[in-house]
């Protein structure tokens, strides 16, 4: 019998279940002698041997179900080599659980930190195959990650809903979209939702230019404006500071709940316009997976099963030019796929009049 371990790690997203289903259904068809061991709450389950042998029927009826039937947790990569509060070596514990259960392979569904840990386990001699999960779409080596399109749909719907109230009251509305380090989600949702201004971590903004864009809209008879702001958006002024300098600056200034509230306060101070902030927050990771993600998850899962059949370990399953491919974990772990300020989609957005606060 071949025993396969499976876990979902890091932040949840809408199509984790759909991806696990894709893997399981393909595995069960490839062999009658397969047993899948599910680890509870991500790497935590692997560390502390919290697992269960999955029944085949558990993978039925979950294609449209958001979240993860295995649960998930964040286990920061930078702390993986740090013993827990009881002195347990987490890496050795994971290896011990893997070997104790006589696993042929461990399947990891996760984002950047999870991929780094997957690569670490590969370096430690374990057979690992990973799948690209994140609503941020920031994993190197893949054109798209599962969960991204579903999150785009939720964030876009939030912007759509704001349009009617913004138009009714003639206000400036800021919609804060998830994305600390990268702005793919804000970029796509902003364009899809018809935002007038989009502020991303990769394109530091000049507040004067943001205000100029608002004034231009007012001058052209537009009574309201929508600004899509990534939670990691940063001004040109702050981007020029060192981490230490920025930390000191924040200590000495007004403390805002997030960057959107700071931008909103400055806009009101400078223009007198009424500003409202909306933060969809974790709604963007919740709900059912959209049809696109269901198809993508199924394809990724099936390919992961084929890699297991071929004993082709140490890879992440990825998407390139709409084809499902494998990428060595050693090539993608620790790399971030950010928005290039000169990429075509940004240029095209600017061509239709969207401001990014940079020119």
The pLDDT assigned to 32 comes to 84
pLDDT at 255: 85
pLDDT of residue 168: 87
Distance CA 198, CA 194 (A): 10
What are the C-alpha distances in Å from 233 to residues 188, 262, 292?
A: 15, 11, 28
pLDDT at 253: 76
End-to-end CA distance of the chain: 62
Two tokens at 171? 């206000």
Question: For position 134, what pLDDT does the model report?
Answer: 95
The answer to whether residue 136 is catalytic is yes
Is beta strand 275-278 parallel, antiparallel or unpaired with respect to 172-177? parallel
Domains of the chain and any CATH numbers: 2-147+289-332 (3.40.50.450), 149-285 (3.40.50.460)
Q: Residue 203 corresponds to which tokens in the numbers above?
A: 């394109």
What is the mean pLDDT, run by run of 10 residues, along the chain of 359 residues? 95 95 96 94 97 97 96 92 94 97 98 96 98 97 97 97 89 95 98 98 97 94 95 94 83 86 95 93 94 98 97 98 97 96 98 96
Distances (CA, A) of 238 to 29, 204, 205, 241, 243: 54, 8, 10, 5, 9
Find all residues with CB under 8 Å of 350, minimum gap 6, and list them: 356, 359
Q: What confidence score (pLDDT) does residue 245 get?
A: 81
Mapped onto helix, strand or coil, the DSSP state of residue 331 is helix
pLDDT at 248: 81
Determine the 3-state secondary structure of 77 from DSSP. Answer: helix
Name the active-site residue from 12, 41, 136, 196: 136
How far apart are the C-alpha atoms of 280 and 178, rounded to whole Å? 8
Q: What ranges in the chain are assigned the alpha helix state H?
A: 16-30, 43-47, 90-100, 112-123, 148-169, 184-192, 207-219, 236-239, 243-252, 259-271, 291-309, 329-332, 344-351
Q: What angle do CA 88, 98, 118 make, to 5 degrees?
A: 80
């Amino acid at each position: 019998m071949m025993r396969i371990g499976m876990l979902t790690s890091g932040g949840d997203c809408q199509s984790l279940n759909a991806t696990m289903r894709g893997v399981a259904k393909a595995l069960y068809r490839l062999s009658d002698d397969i047993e899948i061991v599910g680890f509870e709450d991500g790497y935590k389950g692997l560390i502390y041997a919290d697992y269960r042998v999955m029944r085949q029927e558990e993978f039925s009826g979950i294609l449209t179900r958001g979240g993860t039937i295995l649960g998930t947790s964040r286990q920061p990569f930078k702390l993986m080599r740090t013993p827990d509060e009881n002195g347990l070596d987490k890496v050795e514990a994971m290896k011990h659980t893997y070997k104790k259960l006589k696993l042929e392979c461990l399947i990891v569904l996760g984002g950047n930190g999870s991929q780094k840990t997957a690569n670490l386990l590969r370096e430690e001699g374990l057979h690992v195959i990973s799948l690209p999960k994140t609503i941020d779409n920031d994993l190197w080596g893949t054109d798209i990650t599962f969960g991204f399109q579903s999150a785009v749909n939720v964030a876009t719907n939030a912007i759509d809903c704001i349009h009617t109230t913004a138009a009714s009251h003639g206000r400036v509305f800021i919609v804060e979209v998830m994305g600390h380090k990268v702005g793919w989600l804000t970029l796509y949702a902003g364009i899809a939702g018809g935002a007038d201004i989009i502020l991303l971590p990769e394109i530091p903004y000049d507040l004067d230019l943001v205000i100029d864009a608002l004034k231009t809209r007012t001058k052209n008879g537009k009574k309201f404006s929508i600004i899509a702001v990534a939670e990691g958006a940063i001004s040109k002024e702050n981007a020029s500071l060192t981490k230490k300098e920025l930390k000191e600056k924040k200590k000495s200034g007004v403390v805002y709940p997030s960057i959107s509230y700071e931008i909103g306060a400055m806009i009101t101070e400078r223009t007198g316009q009424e500003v409202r902030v909306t933060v969809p927050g974790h709604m963007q990771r919740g709900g059912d997976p959209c049809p696109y993600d269901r198809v993508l998850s199924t394809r990724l899962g099936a390919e992961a099963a084929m890699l297991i059949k071929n004993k082709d370990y140490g890879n992440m399953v990825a998407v390139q030019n709409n084809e499902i491919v494998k990428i060595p974990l050693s090539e993608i772990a620790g790399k971030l796929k950010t928005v290039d300020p000169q990429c075509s989609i940004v240029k095209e957005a600017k061509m239709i009049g969207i401001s990014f606060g940079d020119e």
